[in-house]
Amino acid sequence: MERTAKPSSSVASGRRTASPRAIAGGVAQRGRDESAFERNLHSQLAGRLGRDIVAGVYPPGSLLPSATEMCARFSVSRTALREAYSRLSAKALIVARPKIGTRVRANADWNLLDPEVLAWHLQARPTEHFVDDLFVLRQMVEPAAAALAASSRSPATVERIAEAYGRMDRFKNGAGDLIGADLDFHMGILEATENPFLAALGGLIQTALECTFQLSWQGAARIQDDRLLQHRRIFEAIRDHAPELARDRMAELLSESIGDVREFLRQREAKRTERVAP
């Protein structure tokens, strides 16, 4: 009598048994996904706390709430909170003391050269005083950079700045990425200096530029015609290898631009006051 082979449990149930390699690969993929999620969670929590600190929710010198309270408030684990605190400590915003707690450091200790810290300031309702200080930095760096760019004999330098200006002109009424074009214009000038120290400031300058453009153009909907003309005159001085003229024209642009930002901040504050008025 012929015997019928008994099907394996995996076949009988209609499932295929995964190979050890496939199982290991799945575990590894889940591990990578979980690791990426944790990193993203740490980053988001650090950003939230960083913005709260620079906005004065947790004033300098104050103790942050206990770890238990913070974990409950943000629905995170102690590991996530610890990693977020580590990021903020590296930026000199907070300091942990045994048996005392985690304290917000003095403003003077904060690493304002960190692009994230700068962005948090500009996202957390910046004050006129803070923006003024930021423009002091721009006034110290960018006019000198424009003069050095005008001294450059590299055709590629002129071509990049010309191309960025051309996009600014096309996008001046909000038809495209106006902020990206203006960023490329200013970053092209910084890189044209061929100075590695100025280039190293690029990340900070880029963050500052992007945020201040949004403030001065009220969301970058359009750029004023006279500001666009000032950019063109800077480009022409660089193209014509006129260092002092390039320096003066960049200084003039920055002096006018800070006025735009101040006016926007005042209008925004006036609207906010109107909304909360009884």
Per-residue pLDDT of the chain (278 residues; tens, 9 = 90+): 444 444 444 444 444 445 544 444 554 444 444 445 456 788 899 999 999 999 999 999 999 999 999 999 999 999 999 999 999 999 999 999 988 999 999 999 999 878 889 888 877 777 788 888 888 988 999 999 999 999 988 888 899 999 999 999 998 887 788 888 988 999 999 988 888 888 777 767 787 777 777 676 654 456 778 889 999 999 999 999 999 999 999 999 999 888 888 887 787 777 777 776 66
89: left (phi over 0), alpha (psi -120 to 50) or beta: alpha
What are residue 111's phi and psi, to 5 degrees?
-85, 85
CA 196 vs. chain centroid, Å, equals 21
d(CA 173, CA 151) in angstroms, rounded, equals 32
DSSP of 45-98? HHHHHHHHHHHTSS-TTPBPPPHHHHHHHHT--HHHHHHHHHHHHHTTSEEEET
Give one DSSP letter per residue of 169-224, joined into a string. Answer: HHTTTSSS-HHHHHHHHHHHHHHHT--HHHHHTHHHHHHHHHHHHHHHTTTTT---
Gyration radius (Cα) of the chain, Å: 27
**Secondary structure letter of residue 114 according to DSSP:** S
| Residue-wise burial string across 223-239, b where 16 or more C-beta atoms lie within 10 A, e elsewhere | beeebbebbebbbbbbb
Structure tokens at 51: 């913005």
Q: Which residues, at least 6 apart from 155, have a Cβ–Cβ distance to it below 8 Å? A: none
CA distances from 80 to 123, 179, 207, 257 (A): 23, 34, 26, 41
pLDDT in tens, 86-138: 999 999 999 999 889 999 999 999 998 788 898 888 777 777 888 888 889 88
Q: Which two tokens stand for residue 67?
A: 């770890």
For 140-156, the pLDDT digits (tens) are 999 999 999 999 888 88
